[in-house]
């Protein structure tokens, strides 16, 4: 089998992988190799033609393709960054070997000094939801519909119901409406929407599309093609309330019920996965449980803003380069972070607490007038509101906190003010 | 004319205040539910002249993909969104296209230009420069 050598090999050419490549190059890595199964650079961004990208990073309201282009332009000028598109990674292992294949080169092996995982995420499907009824055509994930409408140019249907109010579903409700389809309802089982308020307002309210909160789909009707769905209100245990059922005729059902980090490769390589994020456990340098393997972006946890993805990519790329060059110091003390009150997930999960650490946090329940607290109260920050659909970022200056060396565990929690 | 009420959700900050507007003869008489002054400015803007950036696609010839993503270079009146999409569905452009290239200038007299949001003829195939 043919073998290639690389200083840093990066799997995935979305915003995470591109930021990692640029940052690894800047740090002095020899050869940086980026692999992606897609036909173009940018990951999911080319199909996200709506605006709302880069507000934090560039202080501009860009569309997905525009945001991606800024990184693509820079990558192209770097002699040391090489890209292989239409290339699928089949396997990775703890020795930083990558097995990949494409139609030109067949199966080949890459021996790298360090790896960056940037595989993004995939969408949950109907199989994961167990909705009863028939199995007609016309049921798709929202992201697949987005690919068809925005890249390939065809409408999935005329009368649409969307299950789940994640951002992808909301964006597609507007897109399909503008393209002439009728979106009859967005059905959400939780008492609050899954996506950003901006999207609820500008994608649903702007077009008078009903958002049915605390509702779910109880039955799917239709033989060959979808004909209708039954929708019912749910009680506090998320069970349908008898007698509240109604039938909505439609030819298309889009599922926007959540994203899951894409970690088959990571699990097979024996990298430790955090069940609460669905992604690898990482430290503040974005290093996974395997030395020399780093991870960033949606493969680590689902981010709602691309700006954070690029930020993590830069951290991962820089440290992957340092590791490849033999310059990355492994930490002295290691502190495990515990999820306290109202914390659903927390990245990084392990820190050495040497310098400033950026945390990315999700809460379980919405709450107002709260504070984020580290340990008993070593460090805190007030927050007027926290919501499950909005990731909280929190910078903690550990260099100023003077923790004792014997601290092995710290809890992060949300407390009422 | 009778009084009417409208609900507007503020999106200026994460608190997402639900505001109620009392409207008489097409004029806002009273706003409730906002926690700060910025909510009032937002509600007035949204009630009197809501504006949005339009993002959509036009037909593309000569590339791997049949569509080019585009947007308006500034917000346009919300009521014009559908009209503009209908107008743009008849437009066809040929590759190569530059990022930011004007596809339609002053679309339907809105004062906004429709520009390309993608560089076509370069990203499809990766080449070193
Ligand atoms: C519909 C939608 C709307 C969004 N709207 C916004 C918004 O308005 N504002 C905002 O800031 N953010 C938004 N986001 C979020 C943002 O787009 C994502 O957070 C970001 O794209 C994640 O980047 P990533 O690099 O981690 O993953 P991706 O962009 O998914 O890239 C992962 C790449 O890895 C490749 N890959 C995976 N496995 C393999 C393998 N085995 N071999 C080879 N290649 C592989 C994939 O092909 C893909 O190209 C939106 C996301 C979606 C889906
Ligand atoms: S009214 Fe003020 S506090 Fe309320 S959402 Fe708007 S900006 Fe935030």
Residue-wise DSSP of A402-415 = ---TT--EEEEEEE
From the CA of A71, how many Å to the nearest CA of chain B?
12
pLDDT at B15: 87
Q: Are both A137 and A284 inside the same structural domain? A: no
- Chain A contacts of B85, Cβ < 8 Å? 178-179
Nearest chain A residue to B54 by CA: give it. A50
B86: helix, strand or coil? helix
Structural domains of chain A, count: 3
Nearest chain A residue to B66 by CA: give it. A152
| Whether residue A37 has a cis bond before it, omega within 30° of 0 | no
pLDDT-derived band at A293, boundaries 50, 70, 90: very high
Q: Are both A271 and A341 inside the same structural domain? A: no
Of the listed ligands, the closest to the CA of B18 is: 2
Q: Are both A140 and A249 inside the same structural domain? A: yes
pLDDT at A229: 96
Of the listed ligands, the closest to the CA of B31 is: 2
Domains and CATH numbers, chain B: 4-48 (2.20.25), 55-127 (3.10.530.10)
Substitution candidate for ligand 2 out of B9, B12, B16 with most atoms within 8 A of CB = B12
pLDDT tens per residue, range A230-252? 999 999 999 999 999 999 999 99
Look at A387 and B14 and tell me if their CB atoms are within 8 Å: yes
User: What interface predicted TM-score (ipTM) does this complex get?
Assistant: 0.90
pLDDT tens per residue, range A373-384? 999 888 999 999
Could you tell me which of A20, A18, A77 has the C-alpha nearest to residue A43?
A18
Q: Where do the H-state alpha helices sit in A208-271? A: 264-268
pLDDT at B125: 44
Q: Are both A144 and A50 inside the same structural domain? A: no
pLDDT at A333: 77
pLDDT at A363: 96
Q: Are both A218 and A310 inside the same structural domain? A: no
Could you tell me which of A53, A7, A14, A61 has the C-alpha nearest to residue A313?
A14
pLDDT-derived band at B129, boundaries 50, 70, 90: very low
Q: Are both A143 and A237 inside the same structural domain? A: yes
In the stretch 25-64 of chain B, residues with CB closer than 8 A to chain A read 50, 52-53, 55-57, 59, 64
Q: In whole angstroms, give the CA distance from residue A167 to residue A203.
A: 10
Look at B81 and A178 and tell me if their CB atoms are within 8 Å: yes
pLDDT at A120: 98
Host domain of residue A223: 125-257
Ligand 2 touching residue B11 (CB < 6 A): no
Among positive and negative, which fits the CA dihedral A311, A315, A318, A321? negative
Between the CA of B37 and the centroid of ligand 2 the distance, in Å, is 8
Ligand 2 touching residue B38 (CB < 6 A): yes
Ligand 2 touching residue B12 (CB < 6 A): yes
Nearest chain B residue to A84 by CA: give it. B126
Rg for chain A, CA atoms, rounded: 22
Q: Are both A377 and A396 inside the same structural domain? A: yes
**What CATH code is carried by the domain that includes residue A159?**
3.50.50.60
Look at B118 and A390 and tell me if their CB atoms are within 8 Å: no
A204: helix, strand or coil? helix
Q: Which of B126, B127, B128 to mutate to test the interface with A (most CBs of A within 10 A)?
A: B126
Q: Are both A8 and A117 inside the same structural domain? A: yes
- Tell me if chain A has a CB within 8 Å of the CB of B78: yes
Q: Are both A414 and A265 inside the same structural domain? A: no
Q: In whole angstroms, give the CA distance from residue A320 to residue A323.
A: 5
From the CA of B83, how many Å to the nearest CA of chain A?
9
Q: In whole angstroms, give the CA distance from residue A139 to residue A230.
A: 14
Q: Are both A240 and A279 inside the same structural domain? A: no
Q: Are both A279 and A337 inside the same structural domain? A: no
- Tell me if chain B has a CB within 8 Å of the CB of A77: yes
Looking at the DSSP bridge assignments, the partners of residue A82 are A33
pLDDT at A413: 97
Domain end call among A236, A257, A278: A257
pLDDT at B122: 56
pLDDT tens per residue, range A117-161? 999 999 998 766 778 888 899 999 999 999 999 999 999 999 999
Domain end call among A272, A298, A330: A330
Task: Tell whether the model's pLDDT for residue A176 goes beyond 90.
Answer: yes
pLDDT tens per residue, range B84-128? 999 999 999 999 999 999 999 999 999 999 999 999 985 444 444
Domain end call among A224, A241, A257: A257
Q: Are both A301 and A393 inside the same structural domain? A: no
Of the listed ligands, the closest to the CA of A54 is: 1
> A with B: how many residue pairs have Cβ under 8 Å apart?
84
């Amino acid at each position: 089998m043919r073998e290639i050598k690389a200083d840093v090999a990066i799997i995935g050419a979305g915003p995470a992988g591109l930021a990692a490549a640029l940052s690894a190059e800047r740090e002095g890595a020899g050869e940086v190799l980026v692999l992606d199964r897609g036909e173009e650079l940018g990951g999911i961004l080319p199909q996200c033609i709506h605006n709302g990208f880069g507000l934090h990073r560039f202080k501009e309201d860009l569309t997905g393709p525009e945001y991606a282009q800024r990184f693509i332009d820079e990558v192209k000028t770097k002699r040391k960054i090489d890209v292989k598109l239409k290339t699928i990674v089949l396997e990775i292992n703890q020795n930083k070997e990558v097995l990949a294949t494409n139609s030109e080169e067949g199966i080949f092996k890459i021996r790298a000094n360090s790896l960056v995982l940037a595989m993004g995420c995939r969408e949950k499907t109907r199989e994961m939801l167990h909705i009863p009824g028939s199995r007609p055509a016309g049921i798709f994930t929202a992201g697949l519909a987005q690919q068809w409408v925005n890249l390939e140019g065809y409408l999935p249907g005329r009368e649409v119901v969307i299950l789940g109010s994640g951002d992808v579903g909301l964006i597609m409700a507007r897109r399909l409406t503008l393209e002439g389809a009728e979106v009859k309802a967005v059905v959400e089982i939780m008492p609050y929407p899954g996506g950003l308020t901006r999207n609820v307002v500008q994608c649903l309210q702007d077009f008078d599309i009903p958002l049915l909160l605390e509702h779910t789909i109880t039955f799917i009707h239709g033989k060959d093609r979808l004909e209708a769905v039954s929708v019912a209100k749910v009680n506090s245990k998320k069970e349908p309330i008898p007698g509240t059922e109604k039938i909505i005729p439609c030819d298309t059902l889009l599922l926007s019920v959540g994203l899951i980090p894409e970690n088959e490769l990571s699990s097979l390589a024996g990298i430790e996965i955090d069940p609460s994020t669905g992604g690898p456990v990482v430290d503040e340098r974005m290093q996974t449980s395997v030395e020399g393997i780093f991870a960033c972006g949606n493969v680590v946890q689902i981010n709602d803003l691309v700006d954070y993805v690029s930020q993590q990519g830069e951290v991962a790329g820089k440290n992957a380069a340092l590791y490849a060059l033999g310059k990355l110091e492994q930490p002295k003390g290691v502190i495990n972070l515990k999820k306290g009150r109202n914390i659903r997930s927390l990245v990084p999960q392990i820190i050495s607490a040497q310098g400033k650490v950026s945390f990315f946090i999700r809460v379980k329940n919405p709450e107002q007038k709260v504070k984020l607290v580290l340990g008993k109260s070593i460090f805190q920050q007030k927050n007027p509101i926290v919501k499950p659909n909005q990731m909280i970022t929190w910078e903690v200056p550990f260099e100023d906190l003077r923790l004792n060396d014997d601290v092995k565990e710290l809890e992060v929690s949300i407390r009422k003010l | 004319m009778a009084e009417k009420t409208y609900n507007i959700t503020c999106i200026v900050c994460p608190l997402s205040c639900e505001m109620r507007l009392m409207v008489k003869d097409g004029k806002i008489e009273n706003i409730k539910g906002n926690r700060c002054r910025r909510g009032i400015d937002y509600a007035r803007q949204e009630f009197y002249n809501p504006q949005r950036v339009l993002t959509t696609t036009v037909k593309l010839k000569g590339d791997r993909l049949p569509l080019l993503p585009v947007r308006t270079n500034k917000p346009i009146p919300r009521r014009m969104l559908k009209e503009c999409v209908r107008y743009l569905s008849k437009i066809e452009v040929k590759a190569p296209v530059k990022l930011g290239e004007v596809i339609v200038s002053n679309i339907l007299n809105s004062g906004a230009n429709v520009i390309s949001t993608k560089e076509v003829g370069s990203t499809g195939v990766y080449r070193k420069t």
